[in-house]
Amino acid sequence: TVVRLADYRAPAWRITHVALEFELGATSTRVTSTLRLVAQPGQPAPPLRLDGEDLELLDIALDGRTLGPGEYTLDASGLTLTAAPSACELRTTARIHPQRNTRLEGLYLSRGALFTQCEAEGFRRITWFIDRPDVSAVYDVTLIADRARFPVLLSNGDRVAAGELDGGRHFARWHDPHPKPSYLFALVAGDLARLSAPFTTMQGRTVEVNVWADRADVARCEYALGAVLRAMQWDERRFGRAYDLAVFNVVAAQDFTMGAMENKGLNIFNARYILADADTATDDDFIAIESVIGHEYFHNWSGNRVTLRDWFQLSLKEGLTVFRDQEFTADLHSRGLKRIEDARLLRSRQFVEDAGPLSHPVRPPSYREINNFYTATVYEKGAELVRMLHTLLGETGFRRGLDLYFERHDGGAATVEDLVAAMDESSGRDLTQFLHWWEQPGTPRIEAQARFDAVSGEYTLTLRQHGSDPDHPLHIPLALAFYDANGRRIDTHPEVDADYRPGLIELRQREHTLRLRGLTQPPLPAFLQGLSAPVRLDFDYAPEQLARLVQVETDPLTRWQALQQLARTAILPGAQRRVALDALLRAQSILLDDPRADAAFVAACLALPDFWDLGAQLERIDVDALWAAREATLDALAIDQTERLRERHLQLTARAAGGLEGDSASARRLRNLCLARLARVEREGERAVAQYHGANTLTDRLAALQTLLHAGFAQADEVLQDFAARHRGDALVVDRWLGALVTAPRAGTLDTVATIVRGPFWQPTNPNRVRAVLGSFVRSNVPAFHRADGAGYALFFELLPALDSINPQVASRHLALLENWRRLDDGRRRLLDAHFDALQTRLTSRDSRETLARLRGAD
Ligand code: ARG
Ligand code: ZN
């Protein structure tokens, strides 16, 4: 069945209080729930419908009286009581089976400990409930378990009681004073250890912060603990938001479908976003860990204190919270680099999503399975919409709007309109038109055309928006600058037909014309500084102009963007190709020679656009030709830069060895790019082997290993043996070398993948392992996965049905990686089409069935 935003109705019943008692066991758990229910005032009480899935009913009583079989109806998706009084208390007891729960939704077992994941609709797999985000209640939770197996018992809020019971059992009781929807419920039980630190809030309250993990892993929680404290402090300083309970628990789980979850007072994380030290995490991991920890913590306000009215509003919490975590990283590290990283992700994931059949608005109008909408569009594009509000209102205006939003909706369930209304009212700006951004799918394109009249000295720039609804053009903040021949910014105020601030134009109509007068030469325009809107901008730059933009522009994002565009022109077919390659070679060399340029920035600028980013702009993706063109460009760069790359690799050695501090990480990033690029022109892997043995971080060791594997150097095996032996016991690091192995860009790598999935390293119940092996293979190994003989596809479709019956979300997300299939060349498209046909009857989950239907355009 299809769920539609247009069909939203307020709930017929509310739940004011929930008491849960868990008798926890790995194979079998009893859940007794006591709900205080109130019907909406009005007519006689409507039927009471509660969601429930995979639950065995042991007992049911209404207002203290056990119900007989005729007094309720039970089906596969819930429980109905037709004659419940308008205020009543319902008690149910259910039996559930955590160990059998491979979907990892609801209550499940991971390495002997019990965890929950309830967002979006997992709570109904724990007990019967009105499992929707606009039903909020106060929870009292009692956990009972065997003390030896489950010494630690955690839930939301504060622990109010604990003690011993008979038979070696013990209990803990938790009270969460903040009303919350069921998707924020959580419990954890297991033999865990913690690192702990106090935090004093800006109101002077003391919070106990705990980061929990398997006993063996707790030493690697130090960085995560520090990150929690930084996040708490940052949200106070930047947004005036403080924590609101006496304890904040964060727990690492090795089996976890997504990245992490913001359950009130008890955040549960995929262990890969908690565990870290120099030996087992890369520089990128450290940044990602801090960012995800920040993200979940920031949800305490943007998500928990103010939650969602319905799941269509998902981006209201996710887009806003991604924006907040992006700002957190930008404030603590390099703002320019962070923005480049965001833009890279947006282009390679979200723009690509928009270019295929899975394209949807940031607020989708309908879904079959909400878990399919935790997408790059909802998260990353959603964050860009919030960022545009920030750009339009400025820091102070945005802050005022956000304060009003939190104040108005604290404890409530909000919509996208509520957020925009708060921004609108607090700033006095009319944001009605801006709301269309949440409703329209696709990546808008702005076409910019310039004309220069040498006689009158008038420069005319025409801007047209394409791809938006013709009746509802979008309100687009377009950052803009003009440079003269000396590289100085022209500060003449152009005359425009809309409101205009220097540096920023607000496009509200389909077409705008700007004029600059009194010029002797046409200026060089620069667009979208800081990526002021999630759009494509088409302007017919000559390669020379792009190279000049890299020199004169000061915004790192715009400089990076100019280089990316130069690379795109050099790679894709077109008349300018050769000229663009020459300009790219020169521009990259200048950066490589610049001793003052930040090394990480140089590395970002030297990297070429992702294969799928390039493909997203093509009507037809000739896989072999596009891959060959991108490789040829990389080879040409390597040949041209050989001496410079050698020099830089050597020269950065000392700085790269400096441990985990920021400057060293930056040096490692460039140095490892040099290493990988040099491997294209060197015949053997001595340099990488030497780096591997001399390394003092996982970053450098892994980069060396990956270079050896990907270049196919003879020493790869020996180094791989060493690496594998070193990290055998650590699943997260095993994921890393498996990932390096399966992405070696050669057709023959398919055999490696086939061997892995038929051996002991293939653990289909562990989402991280599936992503490391299959996800990286499908996403990143173009020559092997997209083999013309179809062998790559055959392996993928052989694995998918089993994955689907184990964990539907993981299967569905992997299937969605084929989002480009329609634009692939004929041979590949036909192969995939046949596989889709055959898959039709072999998928069992709603998740994967919906994704398949959307991929095929049936929905
Ligand atoms: N709210 C979580 C986050 O972004 C994501 C949870 C998604 N889980 C899911 N099963 N869809 O922080
Ligand atoms: Zn989130």
Q: pLDDT (tens digit, 9 = 90+) per residue, 100-120?
A: 999 999 999 999 999 999 999
Closest Cα to atom 1 of ligand 1: 261
C-alpha of residue 386 to centroid of ligand 1, in Å: 19
CB distance 261 to ligand 1 below 6 Å? yes
C-alpha of residue 858 to centroid of ligand 1, in Å: 27
Query: What pLDDT does residue 319 have?
Result: 99
Look up residue 259 and give its two tokens. 């990245």
CB distance 135 to ligand 1 below 6 Å? no
CB distance 371 to ligand 1 below 6 Å? yes
C-alpha of residue 418 to centroid of ligand 2, in Å: 19
Q: Return the ligand number nearest the Cα of 262.
A: 1
Average pLDDT of the segment spanning 277-301: 98
C-alpha of residue 259 to centroid of ligand 2, in Å: 9
CB distance 120 to ligand 1 below 6 Å? yes
Q: Indicate if the pLDDT at residue 279 is higher than 70.
A: yes
Contact between 289 and 333 under an 8 Å Cβ cutoff? The reply is no
Contact between 241 and 235 under an 8 Å Cβ cutoff? The reply is yes
C-alpha of residue 319 to centroid of ligand 1, in Å: 12
Determine the atom of ligand 1 nearest the C-alpha atom of 122: 10
CB distance 257 to ligand 1 below 6 Å? yes
Closest Cα to atom 3 of ligand 1: 261
C-alpha of residue 49 to centroid of ligand 1, in Å: 25
Average pLDDT of the segment spanning 236-245: 98
Residue among 374, 378, 380 whose CB has most ligand 1 atoms within 8 A, to mutate: 374
CB distance 271 to ligand 1 below 6 Å? no
Q: Indicate if the pLDDT at residue 542 is higher than 70.
A: yes
Average pLDDT of the segment spanning 68-72: 94
Query: What pLDDT does residue 494 have?
Result: 58
Query: What pLDDT does residue 859 have?
Result: 55
Place of tokens 């007794």: 32
Kind of pairing between the strands at 13-23 and 29-39: antiparallel
Look up residue 684 and give its two tokens. 């053997």
Determine the atom of ligand 1 nearest the C-alpha atom of 374: 11
Q: Kindly report the number of other CB atoms within 10 A of residue 471's CB atom.
A: 6
Q: Return the ligand number nearest the Cα of 373.
A: 1
Determine the atom of ligand 1 nearest the C-alpha atom of 318: 4
Q: Return the ligand number nearest the Cα of 323.
A: 2
DSSP string, 157-216: SEEEEEEE-STTEEEEEEEEEEEEEGGG--EEEESEEEEEEEEE-TTS-EEEEEEEEEGG
Work out the end-to-end distance of the chain between its first and last CA atoms, rounded to an integer number of angstroms: 12
Closest Cα to atom 11 of ligand 1: 371
3-state secondary structure of 462: strand
Query: What pLDDT does residue 500 have?
Result: 55
Closest Cα to atom 5 of ligand 1: 261
**pTM across the whole model:** 0.98
C-alpha to C-alpha distance for 354 and 615, rounded to whole angstroms: 12
Nearest Cα residue to 55 out of 28, 81, 37, 82: 28
Query: What pLDDT does residue 44 have?
Result: 86
**120 preceded by cis ω (within 30°)?**
yes
Contact between 522 and 486 under an 8 Å Cβ cutoff? The reply is no
Mean pLDDT score of the chain: 97
* Segment 770-791, tens digit of pLDDT: 999 999 999 999 999 999 999 9
* In the chain, % of residues over pLDDT 90: 96
C-alpha of residue 156 to centroid of ligand 1, in Å: 17
Q: Indicate if the pLDDT at residue 662 is higher than 80.
A: no
Residue among 123, 131, 185, 261 whose CB has most ligand 1 atoms within 8 A, to mutate: 261
CB distance 258 to ligand 1 below 6 Å? yes
CB within 8 A of 611, min separation 6: which ones? 626, 627, 630, 782
Nearest Cα residue to 645 out of 615, 612, 603: 603
3-state secondary structure of 633: helix
CB distance 452 to ligand 1 below 6 Å? no
C-alpha of residue 833 to centroid of ligand 2, in Å: 34
Task: Tell me the pLDDT band of 491, cut-offs 50, 70 and 90.
Answer: low
Q: Indicate if the pLDDT at residue 502 is higher than 80.
A: no
C-alpha of residue 301 to centroid of ligand 2, in Å: 11
C-alpha of residue 314 to centroid of ligand 1, in Å: 10
Determine the atom of ligand 1 nearest the C-alpha atom of 105: 10
Q: Indicate if the pLDDT at residue 361 is higher than 50.
A: yes
Nearest Cα residue to 516 out of 496, 501, 539, 498: 496
* Segment 390-403, tens digit of pLDDT: 999 999 999 999 99
CB within 8 A of 557, min separation 6: which ones? 336, 339, 340, 343, 529, 530, 531
Supply the residues annotated as catalytic: 296
Task: Tell me the pLDDT band of 685, cut-offs 50, 70 and 90.
Answer: very high
Q: Indicate if the pLDDT at residue 497 is higher than 90.
A: no
3-state secondary structure of 368: coil
Determine the atom of ligand 1 nearest the C-alpha atom of 371: 11
* Segment 701-737, tens digit of pLDDT: 999 999 999 999 999 999 999 999 999 999 999 999 9
CB distance 370 to ligand 1 below 6 Å? no
CB burial readout 210-224, b (16+ within 10 A) else e: bbbbbeebbebbebb
Nearest Cα residue to 648 out of 609, 608, 597, 696: 597
* Segment 5-54, tens digit of pLDDT: 999 999 999 999 999 999 999 999 999 999 999 999 888 889 999 999 99
CB distance 263 to ligand 1 below 6 Å? no
Closest Cα to atom 12 of ligand 1: 261
CB distance 742 to ligand 1 below 6 Å? no
Task: Tell me the pLDDT band of 607, cut-offs 50, 70 and 90.
Answer: very high
Q: Where are the beta strands (DSSP E) in 228-376?
A: 247-253, 260-261, 266-270, 307-308, 366-367
Query: What pLDDT does residue 659 have?
Result: 85
CB burial readout 141-153, b (16+ within 10 A) else e: bbbbbbeebbebb
C-alpha to C-alpha distance for 627 and 611, rounded to whole angstroms: 7
Helix axes 556-571, 623-651, angle to 10 degrees: 130
Q: Kindly report the number of other CB atoms within 10 A of residue 859's CB atom.
A: 14
C-alpha to C-alpha distance for 249 and 653, rounded to whole angstroms: 40
**Residue 69 DSSP symbol:** G
Instruction: Kindly report which listed range (189-203, 474-488, 501-515, 630-644) carries the lowest average pLDDT score.
Output: 501-515
| Identity of the residue numbered 237 | R
CB distance 260 to ligand 1 below 6 Å? yes
Closest Cα to atom 2 of ligand 1: 261
Task: Tell me the pLDDT band of 498, cut-offs 50, 70 and 90.
Answer: very low
CB distance 637 to ligand 1 below 6 Å? no
Q: Return the ligand number nearest the Cα of 267.
A: 1
Query: What pLDDT does residue 190 have?
Result: 98
Closest Cα to atom 8 of ligand 1: 119
CB distance 682 to ligand 1 below 6 Å? no
Look up residue 80 and give its two tokens. 């109905």
Task: Tell me the pLDDT band of 490, cut-offs 50, 70 and 90.
Answer: confident
CB distance 318 to ligand 1 below 6 Å? yes
Residue among 103, 105, 184, 258 whose CB has most ligand 1 atoms within 8 A, to mutate: 258
C-alpha of residue 510 to centroid of ligand 1, in Å: 36
